[in-house]
Amino acid sequence: MALPLENITVVELGHSVAAPIAGLALAELGATVIKVENPHGGDDARNWGPPFLHGAAGMFQAINRNKYSVALDLKDGEQREALRRFIVEKADVVVQNMRPGLVERYGLEAATLRKDKPQLIYCNLSAFGAAGPLKDTPGYDPLLQAFGGLMSVTGHEGAEPVRTGPSIIDQGAGMWATIGVLSALIRRNQTGEGCEVSTSLFETALSWMCMATAMYLASGNVPKRAGSENGGMAPYKAYEATDGWVVIAAANDNLFRRFAQAVGHPEWADDPDMSSNSNRVRNRVKVNALVADVIRTRPRQYWIDALAAASVPCAPLQSLDEVLNHPQTKAVEMLQQSADGKFQLMGLPLQFDGKRPAFRKNPPALAEDNDLLLPGSTASRTTA
C-alpha cells in the first residue's frame, strides 16, 4: 500500500512521549523518521521499565516503531554540523521537544534552520507554550494534568487526586503536532513555503478542558470530580452489577424511556423528577440510587444483553486482557505483528482504502542507523 508521506523525511529531536508520538504518527503514515538520541543512554523512555520488550522498555517500543535511530553528541561541533547539514539538505520536517533553550544553544532552532531552508517545517513541542512566565519551565504529563485542571475533574470527590491512566497530555500534544505538521505540508504544497508550528502540553491540557470550561463560564460553578459521570446527562455512568461494572449512557429522553422499560421500571419515565434530561440532572442523586439498586441485582452480561436488545448504549468495564481478547479487537486488527514475527504492538487508528499502515520496522536499537548521518559509523545494525 502506498502511504501518503512516503517522500517525506522527518528529523525527530524528541524524547519521552510527546514528540515521539508525533514522530510515530508521521512514520506510520510513511515518512522516513530519523530519531536523534543522546549517545549516553538514548531516549529516557528506553529505560522506563520493567517491563522490557526486546531490549528496551515496553513504553519506548510502543511509540518508536518504523523509525531510525541516530545517536549524536550535540555538544560535538562536527556531529552537530552533520545534523544541521542533513536537515538543510534532506529533511522536510523537524519535530523537537528538547529542554527549553537547548536547540537555541546548539543553533538548531527554527529561525536558524529556516534561514538556510525556508521550505522547512519546524514543529516545537514545549511544556507551557512560547510565551508567559512559565515558557522556559520543563514539564511532564502528570504535572500538566494537575496544572491544567484535568485532575480537578478526574476521580471521585473527596478522594486522593488521580491522573488519567494513559498519558493523554503527552499523546494529545503529539497528535496536535501531527495535525500542525500535516497542515503545514499541505500549505507548502500550495505556496512552496515552510513554517514554524508550535504546540505545548499546557495548551493541550486546556483543549481537553474545553467542555468543562464552557460549563463553568455558563454557570459560574467550578466543575468537581464526578467519577464516571458526565455533568450534563443522567443516567450516564458506571453501575456495579453482581460480577463487575456496566457503563450506561441513556443520554436523551427517548433512550431513558427505553432504558426504564428494559430494567423493569417503565414508570420512571413519567416521574416528574426523571421525565426530562434536565430534571434527571437536577435529581441525579435520586436517579443514580434507583438505577444502582436495580443493576446490582443481576450479572454484568445480563444487563449488557438486556440493554443492547432495547438499543440503549452500554458497555462492560473491561480489563486490558479482556479488551485484547475481545472479538471486536481482533476484527479491527489494531494489534499488529512485527515484521520478524517476534512481538506485537498497537497500530495506527487509521485505515486507507480499508488497509491499516503496516508494522514495517521494529523500534530501533540505539544508534543502529548512525551511518545515515555519520558515514562509516561502527554503530550496531541489529534491530531492537
Which residues does the annotation mark as catalytic?
A: 170
Nine-digit cell at 247? Answer: 457503563
Host H or E run for residue 36: strand 32-37
Longest dimension (CA), the chain: 79
DSSP track, 183-244? HHHHHHHHHS--EEEEEEHHHHHHHHTHHHHHHHHHH-PPP--BTT--TT-SSEEEEEETTE
Angle at 150 between CA 146 and CA 152, to 5 degrees: 80
Rounded CA-CA distance 226/157 in Å is: 7
CB atoms within 10 A of CB 224: 11
Whether the CB-CB separation of 35 and 67 falls below 8 Å is answered with: yes
Under 8 Å between Cβ of 66 and 20: no
**Side chain identity at 308, as an amino acid letter?**
A
241: which 3 cell numbers? Answer: 452489577
DSSP characters for 55-74?
A: TEEHHHHHT-TTEEEEE--T
DSSP string, 328-358: HHHHHT-EEE-TTSS-EEE--S--BTTBPPP
